[in-house]
Each structure stands twice: as structure tokens, then as C-alpha cells.
Structure 1
Amino acid sequence: MSGSSSLRAWWARRPPAAGAVVLATGILSVGLRLAGHEVLFQATLALAGAAWALLASDFVVRLVREPRRWRAEAGTPGGLTAVAATTVLGAGVSALGRQNLAWALLALAAVLWPLLMTDVVRHVTRHLMSHRGRRMHGDVFLCCVATQGLAVLGATLAKAERLDWPAHTALVLFWLGLLLYVFMLALFDWREVTDGAGDQWVAGGALAVSALAGARLTDADHRLHLWNADDRGVLRGMTLALLVLALCWYAVLLAGELLRPRLRYDVRRWATVFPMGMTAVAMLSAAPALVLPRWKGPGEALLWVAVAAWLAVAVAALAAGPLGSVTSRGPR
């Protein structure tokens, strides 16, 4: 009885950023599919889908029963994991060949994106006005991740369904996501590199998902011939630059972990696994899209590093139990 009560207590205070578990698991499934591991792909995609369904049901229940709390949580950057997780799951479902379900997930994410983004912009504005000089945590980059997630899924479905308009819309979102990244980078607290609880990795993951969006748009162009030579060259160059920058972030954040190890489990550690997996997927996708076959080997190596990190965080979560998952924090 006490165990179930503890579980209910944990679930009741579960932060919005807990959706990062879907992001981490879903992107690993996509990476495993790209690496040719079909059984593991289906298994991890099923786990991501189950976690998404559980969190989505709680999302609706809170909206109905606790609208004030729902609004407060949805107005934080962590609330955008609802959009990002839905798009990542959609990409996995599309790889499985279930395009109708992928379209439904894209439509849901597209509806949630402006609603949640508006609240997050208000949250950031209030933060700037009331906490002058104080920077923000890594989850602020979820504004970019959610936007680029829509671009990734739109480009994926454009290629799968041979449609132009999703790719053109995805291109607009791609550039918008980059603008959001630049803005959020100015708000980021750089001390998070060595002090963060895990979500500081989203700073690099946002660039990785941007590179993935660029790779998917380039790949869609191979089939649909969407862009002229100049546009194609700009998109290819930007994708390559984003991928290199994401790898640089990877090195910097890994160095921060080694300099100041933070071994205590925190739910935000799932936001560490997601960028690791996303960087691997971006490399695996860029290899054929940008005709860079030598990138496939390092991409697969990073994928297995992300799998090991996923397993480590999962074991730590089970060992920590329902009451050891997250600590409160405020802006710096």
C-alpha cells in the first residue's frame, strides 16, 4: 500500500519535462531503424508509444481536473516536450510505414505548438522582466526542439507521401527554429554546462535536431526536386554546419560531465539521453542525404553510446524509486 501511495505521490508531482523519456526512447528507435536493427527498433518504438500514451492521458486529465496547474506547467519550456515527443514518435511511426497515424501525430503536434509556444514566450518574457541578469536552464532550447521536430516530421511525410507542401512548410519551420535557437542561446546560463542536472544537453540536442531537419529536407528534395541549385547548396551547407556545431556541443557537454560528475539520478537525465541519440540520428541521416558515407560509422558508434546512456538512466531511475526523481529549482 505504501509503495503504491509513493508511486501516486510521485506521479502527482511529476514535472512536465518527464516527457523527455519519450523523446529519448523515440529517437533511439529511429536510430536503431537507420542502423538496420529492426527488432530493437520495433521494441523501443513500442516503449516510446506506451510512455507517450500514458503521459498524453495524464495531460488531458490535468487539463480537465486541474486547469490552473496545467496552465502553469504548460507555460514552462518543459511543457514543449509534449510537442517534441509527439513529433519524434511520429517519425518512428512513419518509419514503421503507418503514415496515417504519423499524419495524425503531426496534426496534434501542430495544434499544440502555437498554444504551448505562446505560453512559453510569456513565461520567458516574465522571467526577463522579473529576473534581470538571471539566465535560464537548458530546457529553454525546447522552443527550438519542438519547432524543428515539426520540420523533421513534415519533411519525413513529404518524402513518404510524395507531397510538396509539407516540405515547404517544414523549410519555414526549419529557419524559424534556428532563429529561436539564437534567441534562446542569449538566455542560456553557461554555468549549466558544469552544474546542470541533465537538461543542459538540450543546448546541443537542439542543433542536432536542426541538422536532422536539414538532412530530411535534403533527402526529400532528392525525390521531389523541391529546390533550385542555390537553395539546395545553402540547405546542404547549413545542415553540415549544424551537424558540426552539434558535435562540438557534444564534446563540450561531455567535458563538463567529466569535470564535475553528477551521478545522482534526476528525471532531467532523460534530457541528456535525447541529445545523445539525436546527434547519432542526425549523423546517420546526413550520411546518405549529404552523400557523406564516412559519417555512418561514427553515427552508429554514437548511437550505441546513447543506448548505453539510456540503459544507465533507466537503471538509475529504478534504483532511485518514485521519490528520488527530481528536485525543485528556480532560475539563476
Structure 2
Amino acid sequence: MPEMPVTPDRPSLPAWWARRPPAAGAAVMATGIISIGLHLIGHETVSRIALVLAVIAWLALAADFVLRLVRDRERWRREAGTPPGLTAVAATTVLGTRLSLLGWQGLAEALLALAALLWPFLLVAVARNLRRGHMPGGVFLMCVATQGLAVLGSTIATALGCEWLTHAALVLFWLGIVLYGVAFAHFDLWQVARGAGDQWVAGGALAISALAGSKLVAAHEVNPYLWNSDDQGVLRVATGVLLALDLAWYCVLFVAEAVWPRPHYDVRRWATVFPMGMTAVATLMTATALDTAPGLHTTGQVLLWIAVATWLVVAAAAIVDARATARSARLGSTRPGSGRLRSGRLRSRGPR
């Protein structure tokens, strides 16, 4: 009698989702920053469409974050100790910043509180597992998550006139710069040539630092009693230097993509889109805050459309990859002798 097909233990889509790595949080970060950028240049309708996509993705990832914490504590701890685990904080702050720009300060404050609650635990967990000179670009998420709190805090503080929150954001801004130095010391520079996409975070961390600086510069313009003019001058210089370093990283990474092309899809490609979008937003905001470099705003617009185009390419590749993975899971589960699908993985059938 012919062997009957084996029914999978779970549908292929949940199986694919179960294999989703923490780095998938970068998709929320990328979509959220694209929404912010489009808002800044006046494309509000498209910006809100991107925001809806970011919210849906964030809710799905938040639910998965809680379910893993409850049902699979060991895996949760293991993933929380890796740099991509910090995307939980960074994605929450990016989404909160966009909601604050919409005037939804209550929701933005709730997301700030959630991100601030997660940040110290995840940061300490990642710091315990650092390996000098051997880390991928995701190590810079230590800086990104910290500066994300500074950006969201200063955005809310400016909207509500909350001085203590602005000063807290200032502390986080300088701490983020220190953490960038720590991350750089542990970064494998060869990732520029062979990284799977997250090497771009080396520049993106500088971009969000410049964005945080521009937000703090703008906050002082609204309330000149926050700090003295010398402090404001230091902030302006620091913001300009951070943006210049970010643009230099952008050029290096862009050239590296041409010299060492990596055309295959990897979930870490979302960590390419986010720094590209963040560089565009930081350029736009710094152009407004410093108002010293003619043409900087135009540069920011060009960089934003490049980021939007990259987002579309990566999103299309992600859909194709998800469909291919789901198809492979279905075929594998129905092929005679293939074994059952358990915990989102096919049972091994020997060495390849």
C-alpha cells in the first residue's frame, strides 16, 4: 500500500513565523522611519499608509515577544542576549516618534515607557555577550536603541514643554555616543565586505545620533532656558560632526555594495533600509535645526527616495522568500518519508 502523505502539525505560515529571527524587528524600524521621512517632506497620505504597516508589524512582533517569554523562556533569554534583541526597543521608539508627530502624545508616552522599561535589561544582556572585534553590524543597536529613547523623549518633551524629559534625553544622547564607541571596538570591519545587510547599522547609529542631536538643538530654540548658549553650541557642533560621519559611512557602505554585491535576500536587509531612511531623516532634520548648509535639505530628499526604493525592493524580496519558504514547508510535509513538521522545522533526513 502506498504511504499516505503526512499532515503537518501546523500550517506553513505559522511554521515560517516560528523561525522568524529577532532581526525581523528591523522591518518595523525601516517602515517607521520611512513614514517619518515622508511626513517631513509633505507626503502625508503615503506616510500614514507606511505607519499603518509599521503598526501592524509591531503588534505582531509584540505578541510574539510576549508569547515567547511565556511559552519558551529559554529561547527568549537566548535571543534577548543578542544585539538584534534590541530591535524591540528601537522599533518601539521609532513608532512612538511617528505617533508623537501626529499629535498622539498619550500613545507616544506609553511607548516611551515600554521602551524605557525594556532598554536596561536588553542592553545589559547584550553587553554580557560582546566579543571584541568579532561582532556583526547589529552590535551598533546598543547605540541605536539608546538614541531612539533620546529622539522619542525629546520629541514628546518639545510637544508638551516637559523640561525634565528633555534633560533626560540629553543624557541618553551622550550615553548613546559612548555606546557607539563601545560597539565600534567590538565590530568586525570585514563585515563591510561580507555582511548580510546589518553592516549598515554602523552608519545608521550615527544617523540616529545626529537626529537626536538635532531634536535637542530644536528643543533649545523652543525653550532657551533648557541650557546655556555654550552647551547649545557644543550640541550644534556634535550634531554636524555626527551627520558628516554618517554620510561618510553611507558612501563607504554604498561603494562596498557595488564592489562586493550580495543580491540574495536576507532578513537583515531590513537593517540596510533603516539606516538609509534614518540618514535621510537625520539630514532633513539637521538641515532645519542648524540651517547652515545650503542644499542639505535637497540631499535629504534624494536620500529619502533612495531609501523608499530600497524598501520596496526588500519588501518584494521578503514576500517572495516567505512564499518560497511556505511552499517548501508544504512540499516537505506531504512528501512520503519526509517526516513531520515540528516546532517550525523539518526533521533532518541526514547530511546534505
Which range, TM-score by smaller chain?
A: over 0.9
Residue 152 of structure 1 deviates from its aligned partner by 0.3
Partner of 1:231: 231
Task: Tell me which amino acid in the other structure corresponds to 1:301.
Answer: V
- 2:11 & 2:308 partners in 1: Cα distance? 32
Is structure 2 residue 273 aligned with structure 1 residue 273? yes
Instruction: Say which structure is richer in helix.
Output: 1
Task: Tell me which amino acid in the other structure corresponds to 2:73.
Answer: P
- Give 3-state SS (helix, strand or coil) of 1:123's partner: coil
Partner of 2:112: 106
Task: Tell me which amino acid in the other structure corresponds to 1:215.
Answer: S
Residue 322 of structure 1 deviates from its aligned partner by 5.2
> Once the two structures are superposed, what CA deviation does each residue of 1:33-65 show, in whole Å capped at 9, x if it has no partner?
111111011111111111000000000000000
- 1:147 & 1:260 partners in 2: Cα distance? 31
Task: Tell me which amino acid in the other structure corresponds to 1:51.
Answer: A
Residue 229 of structure 1 deviates from its aligned partner by 1.1
Partner of 1:247: 247
Partner of 1:285: 285
- 2:107 & 2:113 partners in 1: Cα distance? 10
Partner of 2:144: 145
Partner of 1:173: 172
- 1:95 & 1:52 partners in 2: Cα distance? 18
Partner of 2:25: 19
Task: Tell me which amino acid in the other structure corresponds to 2:320.
Answer: A
- 1:190 & 1:180 partners in 2: Cα distance? 17
Structure 2's unaligned 5+ residue stretches are 1-6, 327-352
User: Taking structure 1 as reference, are residues 72 and 322 closer, same or farther at Cα in structure 2, changes over 3 Å only?
Assistant: farther
The match for 2:123 among 117, 122, 136 is 117
Residue 320 of structure 1 deviates from its aligned partner by 1.8
Partner of 2:302: 301
- Give 3-state SS (helix, strand or coil) of 2:295's partner: helix
- 1:234 & 1:57 partners in 2: Cα distance? 42
Partner of 2:335: none
Partner of 1:78: 84
Judge conservation of contact 1:84–1:149 (CA < 8 Å) in 2.
Answer: yes
- 2:280 & 2:63 partners in 1: Cα distance? 30
Residue 6 of structure 1 deviates from its aligned partner by 2.7
Is structure 2 residue 319 aligned with structure 1 residue 318? yes
- Give 3-state SS (helix, strand or coil) of 1:186's partner: helix
Residue 221 of structure 1 deviates from its aligned partner by 0.8
Residue 158 of structure 1 deviates from its aligned partner by 1.0
Task: Tell me which amino acid in the other structure corresponds to 1:213.
Answer: A
Partner of 1:218: 217
- 1:324 & 1:288 partners in 2: Cα distance? 45
Residue 68 of structure 1 deviates from its aligned partner by 0.7
- 2:238 & 2:259 partners in 1: Cα distance? 31
- Give 3-state SS (helix, strand or coil) of 1:93's partner: helix
Partner of 2:349: none
- 1:231 & 1:313 partners in 2: Cα distance? 41
- Give 3-state SS (helix, strand or coil) of 1:270's partner: helix
Q: Give the number of aligned pairs.
A: 318
The match for 1:96 among 74, 97, 102 is 102
Residue 97 of structure 1 deviates from its aligned partner by 0.8
The two structures, once aligned, show a CA RMSD in angstroms of: 1.6
- Give 3-state SS (helix, strand or coil) of 2:26's partner: helix
Judge conservation of contact 2:16–2:322 (CA < 8 Å) in 1.
Answer: no
Partner of 1:330: none
- 1:100 & 1:295 partners in 2: Cα distance? 33
Residue 311 of structure 1 deviates from its aligned partner by 0.1
The match for 1:61 among 38, 58, 67 is 67
1 or 2 for the larger relative contact order (CA 8 Å, sep ≥6)? 2
Task: Tell me which amino acid in the other structure corresponds to 1:117.
Answer: L
Partner of 1:41: 47
Task: Tell me which amino acid in the other structure corresponds to 1:196.
Answer: G
- 1:237 & 1:122 partners in 2: Cα distance? 33
- Give 3-state SS (helix, strand or coil) of 2:189's partner: coil
Judge conservation of contact 1:211–1:282 (CA < 8 Å) in 2.
Answer: yes
Is structure 2 residue 182 aligned with structure 1 residue 183? yes
Task: Answer with 1 or 2: which has the greater Rg.
Answer: 2
- 1:10 & 1:304 partners in 2: Cα distance? 31
Task: Tell me which amino acid in the other structure corresponds to 2:273.
Answer: V
Residue 324 of structure 1 deviates from its aligned partner by 5.4
- 2:200 & 2:245 partners in 1: Cα distance? 13
> Once the two structures are superposed, what CA deviation does each residue of 1:177-233 show, in whole Å capped at 9, x if it has no partner?
000101110111111111000000000000000000000001111111112111011
- 2:138 & 2:129 partners in 1: Cα distance? 13
> Once the two structures are superposed, what CA deviation does each residue of 1:261-304 show, in whole Å capped at 9, x if it has no partner?
10000000000000000000001111111114521111001000
- 2:79 & 2:129 partners in 1: Cα distance? 10
TM-score using structure 2 length: 0.88
Task: Tell me the percent identity.
Answer: 60
> Once the two structures are superposed, what CA deviation does each residue of 1:10-40 show, in whole Å capped at 9, x if it has no partner?
2111111100000000000000111111101
Residue 104 of structure 1 deviates from its aligned partner by 0.3
User: Taking structure 1 as reference, are residues 88 and 198 closer, same or farther at Cα in structure 2, changes over 3 Å only?
Assistant: same
User: Taking structure 1 as reference, are residues 324 and 253 closer, same or farther at Cα in structure 2, changes over 3 Å only?
Assistant: farther
Partner of 2:342: none
Show structure 1 runs of 4+ deviating over 4 A.
322-325
Residue 323 of structure 1 deviates from its aligned partner by 5.8
Judge conservation of contact 2:136–2:198 (CA < 8 Å) in 1.
Answer: yes
